Structure 1
Amino acid sequence: MALSLRDLPEPPTRPGNGHLQDWALAPLPLIETGAERARAAGGDLFRLRLGLPAVVGFSPAWNRALLTDLGTFRSAGSFSGVVPYLSGGVILTDAPGHAGRRQLMNPGFGRAHLLALQARLCAARPGVPAGEFDALAWADHAVLALLNAAYFSSEFDPELLHAFLAPLRRPFPVPALPRPRLFWRVDREVRRLAHARLTRGGDDLLSVLAPLPGGLEETRVSLAAAHDTTTHALAYAIWHLAGHPQWHAPEHHPAALKETLRLHPPGWMGSRRLGRELIWNGVRLPRGALALYSPYLSGRDPGLWAQPQTFDPGRWAHKPPAWAYLPFGGGERLCLGMHLAQLLILDTLAALPPLRRVGGDPAPHPGLTLGPRGPLVVTGAPTP
């Protein structure tokens, strides 16, 4: 006879609110404790009390099932739906419509098209400040300029773009609050620029997306999904390279970036809703339950990685454990902007001088994305 969700291990609860307070204020210790208890019980799932049935899994088998069985694990009703910035477009499109919609969008975000934009992106990248600077603040500024160049050939009003994306960096519930006036202004600017592409042509991402059904919504949603994720990955990569200068060379940057994303995946937690009842390792999970997977937990699992807390790009000389490294998701729903983020970050790292750490707070700070608490102060290091 199958066990029920109530039989799963769980972190300690608080009277009256279950796990809601810890989920809001300290989610990383919460899920780390849950994973420890699940491993001790010989399983790969633990329960969270968030006001609705919820489970978190962290094994490669769970990750693979959640990211490939699109009929059972549905995007509609997931966390993305409560954030207006992400509530729409391909992010919330389920099977069978998802594959066709992605196929329409993939060419614009593919390597060939992005490489054609590379010179424009390099020209848009701001210079590195002389002396000490906060890598987190600089990365935020740089990624804003780079995304403006990639999506809009740097023609979008920079102040409006900053105002649009700024709430995403705030703690919950700020990103989930409706902002109809701001969204109206952004949509008006996107329509203005899209009209120019449709009448005169172009080669930026808006030129690719504007002719598609729902393409302007996809532009706004994918832009929102790209900014903080890329900013935080770049800031952490700069911090790690400043502390491990032996890896600060273009030939080492791909491995250093992979290691950064293993330790600090911006998308630290992903969510789905169960479209049907599922029995997982003898546990019956009800239809409608919130099903979560955590690239943060999987990337730091001591059963999958040697010295998982250590920054060691050398580990990438070998293939990672299958379905254990998921900073961009996986399967059919692999992150649309993966190649764009990698291009922006690797080109930026290659342009940086030798660096050394000055000080700051790199502690992971989870919000809508996982980023450093900051600041991350670095300075140019003297060349040998």
Structure 2
Amino acid sequence: MIASDLSTLPQPPTRPGNGHLQDWALSPLPLIEDGARRARAAEMDLFRLRLGIPAVVGFSPAWNRRLLGDLDTFRSAGGFSAVVPYLAGGVILTDAPLHRRRRQTINPSFGKKHLETLRARTQAALPPIPDGEFDALAWADSAVLRLLNAAYFGGEFDSQLLHSFLAPLRRPFPVPALPRPLLFVRVDAELRRLATRRLTQGGDDLLAVLAPVPGGLEEARVSLAAAHDTTTHALAYAVWHLANHPQWHTPEHHSAVLKETLRLHPPGWMGSRRLSRELDWNGIRLPRGTLALYAPYLSARDPQLWDDPQEFRPQRWERKPPAWAYLPFGGGERLCLGMHLAQMLILDVLSALPPLRAFSGDDTPVPGITLGPRGPLVVARQS
């Protein structure tokens, strides 16, 4: 049997002259939701996007498992991260066979055992909870900046420079992809200054562990950039959910609240790879060089996999999720390096929050480099 080509895949309606590029830039969530509906109607788990190069989006557990597990076929270096200077380096763009060795070198820095030694420091860095009404999104932004500064640098990194470095990541695309050589030079100089202090005087923060590793300063810069907005948006959404569902605001429920928050609003809403070789996927021939996308946002809201997928239901986490359908941190060998750090920081913040109530807000998910709420999300302490 001869495999069909990309032209036989379902796809959302295109616009004359630019295919799906305009919708991808302006409203990607409705675009991929429409593509997924059309694929399900055709009893398929893959749909096509016209983005100027051959591109497909898959959302089934089988697709997720193959893409995240077959590092030889699905290569990271040709994905979206390569065009964003903040993410274009380090282990993020390291492919097989070097990836595993690189991860083994830096994994201990972000392991639970080492992070536990930083916990008192990060907890002390948490800013106070405002007394009156406040925007949970803006507060989470400033709080995570302080928490990451404490975890990575013992709070010693110039706070204004850190804010300036990370601010473009909060802007719509293509702003995060624009080169900023002078800013990166200043950040790298600050990293070298602090790393030299760690190498000569010792320390136990993340930079102290990464500094002796070849390429460790690049890993620190890239992982920091990857951590800030993802953690900020997950925290802001979790605070908003607790303010709207105060019955879940207890320490024994916070883990389920965070999991449900990440299911509904995965900061890494879309992941990308490039095919290093031709692939036959369920009778569809995907040519070498195809942009292969997987969508944690779609997989976690698939009505064929989840009951009431649009609803906030932390009680669903009393059971294991469908395999390879819940991927807020990716999966397989390329599981997010900062997963344990993000979980520790967010859960510690939720435990420190007083009872809250929601006043007003716009929690519409806005996709950029990460998925976050449009905001503001105004909450206040319960009286």
Pairwise TM-score range, normalised by the shorter structure = over 0.9
Matches within 5 A, 1:134-153: 134-153=135-154
Give the corresponding residue for 1:367: 368
Deviations 1:255-303 (A, max 9, x none): 0000000000000000000011000010000000000000000000000
Give the corresponding residue for 1:105: 106
Q: CA deviation at 1:321?
A: 0.1
Q: CA deviation at 1:76?
A: 1.0
Give the corresponding residue for 1:28: 29
What amino acid sits opposite 1:54 in the alignment?
A
CA distance in 2, matches of 1:306, 1:253: 21
Give the corresponding residue for 1:379: 380
What amino acid sits opposite 2:351 in the alignment?
A
What amino acid sits opposite 1:176 in the alignment?
A
Deviations 1:330-349 (A, max 9, x none): 00000000000000000000
Q: CA deviation at 1:137?
A: 0.1
CA distance in 2, matches of 1:281, 1:357: 47
Matches within 5 A, 1:66-215: 66-215=67-216
CA distance in 2, matches of 1:163, 1:253: 32
Deviations 1:335-369 (A, max 9, x none): 00000000000000000000010001000000000
Unpaired runs of 5+ in structure 1? none
Give the corresponding residue for 2:345: 344
CA distance in 1, matches of 2:219, 2:107: 12
Q: CA deviation at 1:55?
A: 0.1
Matches within 5 A, 1:31-70: 31-70=32-71
Give the corresponding residue for 1:284: 285
Runs of 4+ aligned residues of structure 1 deviating over 3 Å after TM superposition are none
What SS class does the counterpart of residue 70 from structure 1 fall into? coil
What SS class does the counterpart of residue 252 from structure 1 fall into? helix
Percent of aligned pairs with the same amino acid: 78
CA distance in 1, matches of 2:132, 2:121: 27
CA distance in 2, matches of 1:279, 1:193: 49
Give the corresponding residue for 1:274: 275
CA distance in 1, matches of 2:7, 2:273: 19
Q: CA deviation at 1:308?
A: 0.1
What SS class does the counterpart of residue 251 from structure 2 fall into? coil
Q: CA deviation at 1:131?
A: 1.1
Give the corresponding residue for 1:235: 236
What amino acid sits opposite 2:340 in the alignment?
H
